[in-house]
Amino acid sequence: YAMTGAMCTAAAAAVPGTLVQQVLRPGCNLQNIRIGHPGGILPCGVDPEGEGPVPSIRDTFGYRTANLLLEGLARVRV
């Protein structure tokens, strides 16, 4: 799941009437949104400002972890 997509999804969660907002649990903490995808779960969030039909989005954020792909050891012979 692309981080830019997660940030846009988080922003859409703060806008009343969007599909994303409609599927959230009631009283969901917008700073702790978890997006499930085939590779796992991507935590993200949004800091909206103001009320109304289109709130101002102060910032969005997400967390990415890297999976260990390789572990190696290098030896030098003298």
Residue 71: predicted pLDDT = 77
pLDDT average per 10 residues of sequence, the chain (78 residues): 90 92 92 89 90 83 74 77
Residue 7: predicted pLDDT = 92
| Dihedral sign of CA atoms 59, 64, 14, 16 in order | positive
Residue 69: predicted pLDDT = 66
Residue 67: predicted pLDDT = 67
Residue 77: predicted pLDDT = 80
From the number of C-beta atoms within 10 Å of its C-beta (0-12, 13-18, 19+), residue 6 rates as buried
